[in-house]
Amino acid sequence: MTSNTFLDQWIRNHFFDAVPICAAVIDRDYNLLYANKTFEDVYGDWRNRKCFSAYKKRDQPCGICKGSEAFSDGISRVSEETGYDQSGRMTRYIKHTIPVREPNGRIPYLLEMSIDITEANQVQRERKLLFDEVPCHIVLMDRQFRIVRANKKVRENFGEVVGQYCFEALKGLGLPCEDCTARQTFTDGKIHVGTHVWRSGLGHPVHHQVTTLPVPNENGTFDVVMEMTIDVSETMELHDRLNRAHHFMETLIHTAIDGVLAMDETGNVTILNPAARRLFGIQETTPVSGTSLTYMLPEGAIKRLIDGDERVFLPDSQIQTTTGETCPVRLSGARLQYEDQPLGMAFYIQDLTTLHQLEQQKLEAERLAAVGQTVAGLAHGVKNLITALEGGLYMLSSGMQKANIERMDKGLDMLARNIERISVFVKAFLGFAKGRHIRAWPCAPAAIAAEVVDLHSPKAHRLGIELRNEPAETDIPEAPIDYESMLECLTNLVGNAIDACQMSDRCADGLVRVRTFEERGVITYEVIDNGCGMDYEVKKKVFTNFFTTKGTGGTGLGLLTTKKIVQEHGGIIEMETEPGQGTTFRIRLPRSRLPKPASNGDAEPSNPSYHQV
Amino acid sequence: MAPKIMIVEDEPDIRLYLMAVLEDNGFIVCIPSDDASVCSMAQQERPDLILLDILMPRRSGVSIYRELRSNPNLSGTKIALFSGMDLEPNMETGGFHRLLGDDTISPPDGFIPKGIRVGSLLDAVRTLLEAPTR
């Protein structure tokens, strides 16, 4: 036997059984004449059965029978069929029906080969699962916008909507939407995206992003559009909240009385509110560069933030305006960052012009008040002097009447002495009224206190009062102070304190302490005495309000002069008095407010440590 | 017997002036040697009137006034405060207590402002002396 013969025999005997598709031969009466193994595996024993019985478990031929068509027209055809396998499970298969034509043209048999596509159906099921379970709403609709299919999520939220108009079912509207993306897709066959507000099952509006796309059928046309929607309500709400917060911040910044400006990391100006524009003198429409602002802001403000400071606060600084003027401001700045990501820097600028004017007016008012008090004091001082002069005149005239030489001499002495006192008094008054120009030079604040204590120690010792200098433990750096004027201030306060001790009932324990220290940039002198009691209270009240020529001379002007000098140094003078404890006078000199050191044109005192009181 | 007046005034010129005026007009004047001896001298001399300056550098007149008033032996002694400053308004009512910061002490018998005119000073002194003792 040749190999060809063997192959012929093998094909005849085995090939039919070996092919992996169901193959069977039927006659014109639909009897199954032959079937291969695969067929038998699927449909069971086929012998003595009709094809409709094997494929479909029917008793009668099928209504539409592709086999009978093939017998009559002799054309091979392919059809999709549904049947049942031997265990009764539905199978889907593609059947090729091939007429077996005899040489004479008769067609006594048909070869039927069927391919099981039940597997493909599995894919379809998966597709359906995807359709239902995908976390978005999907509806299919026809050209009338009637929903023909809806996925589970739609059914859950809107109920059974198939058959309803989409605008009715999803939005509760009576007419299609104006901006219907499905209509656009039906018109041009393209994918369209839009946003819609639907009513939810609970009645509140839900924002959706909608995508509509055509569902093509076999011939490439389409009559159905698929609409997929994603709930973007949360995103929309966040967006809305962000917008509101932004608007809120923007309004705050825009309407702020203080200047607000911000720059990003690259130095672009991101915020420059109207108040800041006014401060710098920049027109509303003029663009501003970060570089120009760097020159206009107080020197070093930006640099400090760049160099690593988190914040910068300049309580008393100034900015440059576009017109080249300076404007007094209080400035605070901060580096901006979010979770390690630098965002630039921001500054808040408060215009101090009005405040400075008010301060100036207040100083002026205080000066005028001081002048008023001084004038009142002057009148009383004059009254005392007049009384003494009247006394002198009385003594002189009564001495003359009585020819009493001794009395006349006394009267003349009184007149001479009190005329001299008037002269001293007027000089002192003029000195105060004229004032002295403050000339500040860098000097050690503690040295002034030390000198005052040295000067007063002999007098205090004589009166049995202890006078103690208590400098700060650490040296206070030099500061621009008018040495001579500050010496005068402390002399006045120490003199008063010694008087207070002297007037106290406990004069024997009299103690005056002069403390000098600096805290947070404020140089402070304290003159503390333990001379206390109502007597001193009364006297103090009188001394702060009135002028007197009593005592060691010029004391009434002392506190007024002291106050004036302290004010000229930008400082304040405070007094605390505790009945039974004594009195503390405190001069506070913030370094930032100290006068500028006198220019080189002014003569520097040859020896600032030596001053005559 | 001539009325006796004690002058407590630290200003020597004014003290001398007052003394001369009062003595020239027939009063007996006594002057303490210092602030501390005011009370003891008053007890010893028993003046009819004490003229007390309320502004003195060592011990103010207020302190001395308090001491005088709190001494039972001197309860009948008239005291007039005497000052160059404008005394607070209503000194004869509540103002005096405000000045003292103490309302348990009875007010003085009179106030005599400085800027002395001889006539008005003598009038004031005589009026005070003639007034009944409290």
Order of all β-strands in the sheet with A147-150? A147-150, A137-141, A222-231, A205-216, A192-199
Tens-place pLDDT, residues A477-496:
999 999 988 998 899 889 88
What value does the mean pLDDT take over residues A248-274?
Answer: 93
Q: What is the pLDDT of residue A435?
A: 62
A338 DSSP assignment? E
Largest CA distance in chain B: 38
In whole angstroms, give the CA distance from residue A228 to residue A140: 9
Output the pTM of the full model: 0.46
Q: State the pLDDT confidence band at B92, using cuts at 50, 70 and 90.
A: low
In whole angstroms, give the CA distance from residue A194 to residue A207: 11
A548 touching B (Cβ < 8 Å) = yes
> Is A609's pLDDT higher than 50?
no
In whole angstroms, give the CA distance from residue A563 to residue A146: 93
Q: List A residues 503-532 in contact with B (Cβ-Cβ < 8 A).
A: 503, 505
Q: What is the pLDDT of residue A218?
A: 80
Among A494-498, B38-42, B56-60, name the one with the lowest average pLDDT.
Answer: B56-60
What value does the mean pLDDT take over residues A577-597?
Answer: 82
Give yes or no for a contact between A410 and A540, defined as CB atoms under 8 angstroms apart.
no
Contact A387 B100 (CB under 8 A): no
Of residues A49 and B91, which shows the higher confidence score?
A: A49
Tokens of A398: 């009564």
B13 touching A (Cβ < 8 Å) = yes
> Is A563's pLDDT higher than 90?
no
Residue environment code for B69-108, b if the CB has 16+ CB neighbours within 10 A, otherwise e: beeeebeebbbbbbbbbeeeeebeeeebeebbeeeeeebb
Q: What is the pLDDT of residue A607?
A: 41
> Is A552's pLDDT higher than 70?
no
> Is A334's pLDDT higher than 70?
yes
- Tell me which residue in B24, B59, B114 faces A398 most closely, judged by beta carbons: B24
* Pairing mode, strands A479-481 and A341-351: unpaired
Q: How many CA atoms lie within 13 A of A127 on its CB side?
A: 6
In whole angstroms, give the CA distance from residue A92 to residue B108: 131
Of residues A170 and A478, which shows the higher confidence score?
A: A478
Tokens of A64: 């539409």
CB pairs under 8 A between A and B: 89
Share of chain A above pLDDT 90, in %: 44
> Is A407's pLDDT higher than 80?
yes
Measure B110 CA to nearest chain A CA, in Å.
19
Q: What is the pLDDT of residue A339?
A: 87
A558 CB burial (10 A radius; 0-12, 13-18, 19+): buried
Order of all β-strands in the sheet with B4-8? B28-30, B4-8, B49-53, B78-83, B110-113
Q: Which residue of B has its CA nearest to A416?
A: B13
Q: Which residues pair with B81 in a beta bridge?
A: B52, B111
Q: What is the pLDDT of residue A75?
A: 94
What value does the mean pLDDT take over residues A291-302?
Answer: 86
What value does the mean pLDDT take over residues A274-299?
Answer: 89
Tens-place pLDDT, residues A53-110:
999 999 999 888 999 999 999 999 999 898 999 988 888 899 999 999 999 999 999 9
Measure B63 CA to nearest chain A CA, in Å.
6
**What Cα–Cα distance (Å) separates residue A305 from each residue in A260, A290, A302, A316, A351?**
16, 14, 5, 18, 21
> Is A540's pLDDT higher than 50?
no
Q: What is the pLDDT of residue A211?
A: 94
Amino acid letter at B88? E
Q: Which of A288-292, A430-434, B44-48 has the highest mean pLDDT?
A: B44-48
Q: State the pLDDT confidence band at A33, using cuts at 50, 70 and 90.
A: very high
Q: Which residues pair with A77 in a beta bridge?
A: A97
Question: What does chain A come to in residues?
Answer: 613
Measure B22 CA to nearest chain A CA, in Å.
12
Q: State the pLDDT confidence band at A543, using cuts at 50, 70 and 90.
A: very low
**Which residues of chain A neighbour B102 with C-beta distances below 8 Å?**
534
Q: What is the pLDDT of residue A553?
A: 42
Q: State the pLDDT confidence band at A285, using cuts at 50, 70 and 90.
A: confident
A375 touching B (Cβ < 8 Å) = no
Judged by DSSP in three states, A352 sits in: coil
Among A132-141, A549-558, A563-572, name the one with the lowest average pLDDT.
Answer: A549-558
Q: Which residue of A has its CA nearest to B85?
A: A380
In whole angstroms, give the CA distance from residue B96 to residue B101: 8
A146: closest CA among A192, A195, A188, A182?
A: A182
Extract long-range pairs of A177-184: CB within 8 Å, 24+ residues apart: A180/A145, A181/A210, A181/A211, A181/A212, A181/A227, A182/A141, A182/A145, A182/A212, A182/A225, A182/A227, A183/A145, A184/A212
Measure B127 CA to nearest chain A CA, in Å.
22
> Is A400's pLDDT higher than 90?
yes
Q: Which residue of B has its CA nearest to A541?
A: B99
> Is B84's pLDDT higher than 90?
no
> Is A556's pLDDT higher than 70?
no
In whole angstroms, give the CA distance from residue A132 to residue A155: 9
Contact A550 B56 (CB under 8 A): yes
> Is B91's pLDDT higher than 80?
no
Q: State the pLDDT confidence band at B55, using cuts at 50, 70 and 90.
A: low
> Is A611's pLDDT higher than 80?
no
> Is A378's pLDDT higher than 70?
no
Q: What is the pLDDT of residue A434?
A: 66
Alpha helices in A21-96 (DSSP H): 37-43, 51-56, 66-73
Contact A548 B59 (CB under 8 A): no
> Is A374's pLDDT higher than 70?
no
- Tell me which residue in B13, B18, B84 faces A380 most closely, judged by beta carbons: B84
CB atoms within 10 A of CB A221: 9
Angle at A387 between CA A384 and CA A392, to 5 degrees: 130
Q: State the pLDDT confidence band at A592, using cuts at 50, 70 and 90.
A: confident
Angle at A390 between CA A385 and CA A394, to 5 degrees: 150
- Tell me which residue in B60, B84, B118 faces A535 most closely, judged by beta carbons: B60
In whole angstroms, give the CA distance from residue A248 to residue A229: 32
Amino acid letter at A417? R
The continuous run of DSSP H or E covering B129 comes out as: helix B118-130
Angle at A291 between CA A289 and CA A297, to 5 degrees: 105
A391 touching B (Cβ < 8 Å) = yes
Q: At which residue do the structure tokens 């103490």 appear?
A: B102
What value does the mean pLDDT take over residues A114-134?
Answer: 86
Q: State the pLDDT confidence band at A302, using cuts at 50, 70 and 90.
A: confident
Give yes or no for a contact between A170 and A162, defined as CB atoms under 8 angstroms apart.
no
Q: What is the pLDDT of residue A613?
A: 31
Q: What is the pLDDT of residue A385?
A: 80
Of residues A200 and A21, which shows the higher confidence score?
A: A21
Q: Which residues pair with A197 in a beta bridge?
A: A207
Contact B20 A398 (CB under 8 A): yes
Alpha helices in B83-117 (DSSP H): 96-100
Share of chain B above pLDDT 90, in %: 29
Of residues B120 and A580, which shows the higher confidence score?
A: B120
B119 touching A (Cβ < 8 Å) = no
Give yes or no for a contact between A374 and A432, defined as CB atoms under 8 angstroms apart.
yes
Q: What is the pLDDT of residue A29?
A: 93
What value does the mean pLDDT take over residues A560-573?
Answer: 83
Contact A535 B63 (CB under 8 A): yes
Best of B62, B81, B85 to disrupt the A interface (most A CBs within 10 Å) is B85
> Is A606's pLDDT higher than 60?
no
A390 touching B (Cβ < 8 Å) = yes
Work out the mean pLDDT of chain A and round it to a whole number: 84
Strand spans (E) along A121-258: 137-141, 147-150, 192-199, 205-216, 222-231
Q: What is the pLDDT of residue A608?
A: 39
Among A19-33, A257-271, A545-559, name the one with the lowest average pLDDT.
Answer: A545-559
CB atoms within 10 A of CB A220: 7
CA-based end-to-end distance of chain B: 21
| B95 phi, psi to nearest 5 deg | -55, -35
Q: How many CA atoms lie within 13 A of A391 on its CB side?
A: 27
